[in-house]
Amino acid sequence: MGGNLEDKYSIDTEIKYKPLERINIPEIISNCSKKWQNISLCQVNESVIRLGVIEGEFHWHKHDEEDEFFYVIEGKLLIDLEDQTVELNPHEGFLVPKKIVHKTRAPVRTAILMFEGSNVKPTGDT
């Protein structure tokens, strides 16, 4: 892969919203202008809720210690696993267990919520 992951993806791990703050997700989505943006919205107990506005594909990776849940707000998300591809449409979700190698793809501009442990490395452990 040419370039490093930080150049290819815009991933912000700084939590943007504190408890008791309103989060206007449609407004955040409309303000995203890059092909692959990942914004850490808030922390819930030991987990982080991230908003992804994406088009294109991520690299193959896994998370050794954390499960990852994807929920599609709009668009279409394809999750490639070693033996199958799962297609998610708006209002559908899917849990990828820890240690499972996966790759996400969005053939069109897609907005997703990701629920993952606060210690997870968004680009994966491999």
Q: Tell me, what's the pLDDT at 11? A: 76
Of the candidates 21, 7, 24, the one whose C-alpha atom is nearest the C-alpha of residue 111 is 24
pTM over 0.85: yes
Q: Tell me, what's the pLDDT at 94? A: 98
Low-confidence ranges of the chain (pLDDT < 50): 1-6
Q: Which H or E run includes 111?
A: strand 102-117
What domains appear along the chain, each with residue ranges and CATH number? 5-115 (2.60.120.10)
Q: Do the beta carbons of residue 120 and residue 68 sit within 8 Å?
A: yes
Output the six-digit token pair for 75. 């668009």
Q: Tell me, what's the pLDDT at 123? A: 56
Helix%, strand%, coil% for the chain, nearest 5: 10, 50, 45
Q: Tell me, what's the pLDDT at 118? A: 82
